[in-house]
Amino acid sequence: MADPRPAPGEGVAPVVPDVDAVAGGTVVVAPAPAVRAPLAPRHYLWIGGALLVVVVALRWLGPVLTPFLFGAILAYLGTPLVDALARRGVHRAIGTTLTVLLFGVALTGLFFVLVPLVQAEASAAAKRLPELVDRLATEVVPWIERHLDVRIELDVATLRAFVVENLDSLRDVGLRVLSGVRSGGALLVSLLVNLALIPVVMFYLLRDWDAIVARIDDLLPRRWQPKVRVVAKQVDEVLAEFLRGQASVMVVLALYYAIALSLVGLNHAVAIGVLTGLLVFIPYVGFGLGLALGLVAALLQWTGWPFFLAVAGVYAVGQLVENYLLVPWLVGDRIGLHPLAVIFALLAFGQLFGFAGVLLALPVSAALLVGLRHVRAAYVASPLYGD
């Protein structure tokens, strides 16, 4: 009977063993690495289908997903606190409850402090706008004509009437909205349900965070698991450092603006200062909105140019402190998440997916940043770059 095994060189290439060590005349051969089969078209269909489901869900289920995404962001921010309590022997469920209560008290207190102050500022603005129109005609316009040699024709009576009529229209619209909410109640119920869902989602995500991460890790394709773990760790580092550093910048600037505007003598300085600090979360755009808010408040409380310039100076110093001290110290340039990239991501995702997209903009930006770093490293190591 003929030997079924092929002779060397017939049909099968000879295997060259990898010699790891030679001990006592025995050759230890390392096993050859397994050759991975290329992905089949059906695998790419699975990947494309998963991405399509995510896009469709964000596009058409954005309002439903919003409280879940908001709760997930709060859970992500609260995870270090729960982990720290767990290391001190506090049961994770108890630590989660304490963290949720802490976040809830902070956000509720901020809401009840800011809303009455902003409402009072809006009421004062409504009362003083006609007076500001008169002051514009008697002081600002003559100054411009005298120093800039520009002739301005301003119909004060018409402008004053326009302001008064539009203020009345705004009041009527507000009353209609409130009456509609009171009569129908659907919008109010939807808002209350979403607000009630946020702490529930935050609690369960915080409590089961490690288990959820382990399940997601277990679902990863085996061939991608090591690389995905490295990328996910780097995304977490970038996102965590950016969010927590930016939160620190917001708190410091809110304190600075509240104290500085109070020293200047601006009415409702605490509300305006805290709002300005919270708005700086959006780089440059937030500062511009905060500056406009402060200058409008200074105009409504007009006591002369020195006061107005003092308020403007507070914002100028705040911008310098933010850009040259707080951001390099608390956030760090090493993150690489450029402010323009943040602004573009917020606007683009908001346009595509609404408020749910705004909530996802920063995590996706961090992931894209890390992905681009790996693509660049692969390009630099390729023959295309080296040769």
Q: What percent of the chain has pLDDT over 90?
A: 11
Residues of the chain with pLDDT under 70: 1-39, 117-118, 121-122, 125-126, 129, 133, 136-137, 141, 145, 148-190, 283, 331-337, 387
What are 239's two structure tokens?
Answer: 């996102």
Predicted confidence (pLDDT) per residue in 240-292, tens digit: 877 778 888 888 999 999 999 999 998 878 888 888 888 887 767 778 888 88
Residues 276 and 316 in one domain: yes
**pLDDT score for 362:** 75
Residues 281 and 325 in one domain: yes
Q: Does any domain span residue 9?
A: no
Residues 237 and 201 in one domain: no
Residues 72 and 183 in one domain: yes
Residues 177 and 281 in one domain: no
Q: Does any domain span residue 180?
A: yes
**pLDDT score for 253:** 92
Residues 232 and 339 in one domain: yes
User: Which residues does 245 contact at the CB level (< 8 Å), separation at least 6?
Assistant: 327, 330, 331, 332, 335
Residues 154 and 76 in one domain: yes
**pLDDT score for 34:** 54
**Partners of residue 30 on adjacent β-strands:** 18
Distance CA 364, CA 369 (A): 8
Query: Total structural domains in the chain?
Result: 2
Contact 290, 275 (CB under 8 A): yes
Q: Does any domain span residue 213?
A: no
Residues 370 and 239 in one domain: yes
**pLDDT score for 33:** 52
Q: Does any domain span residue 244?
A: yes
Q: Does any domain span residue 25?
A: no
Q: Does any domain span residue 114?
A: yes
User: Which residues does 311 contact at the CB level (< 8 Å), separation at least 6?
Assistant: 261, 264, 266, 294, 295, 297, 298
**pLDDT score for 327:** 75
Q: Does any domain span residue 328?
A: yes
Distance CA 126, CA 212 (A): 51
- The helix-helix angle for 285-300 and 305-321 (nearest 10°) equals 160
Residues 228 and 350 in one domain: yes
**pLDDT score for 5:** 47
Residues 92 and 69 in one domain: yes
Residues 109 and 149 in one domain: yes
**pLDDT score for 262:** 92
Tell me the residue range of the domain where 360 lies: 223-387
Q: Does any domain span residue 5?
A: no
Strands (E), the chain: 18-23, 26-30
User: Which residues does 371 contact at the CB level (< 8 Å), separation at least 6?
Assistant: 231
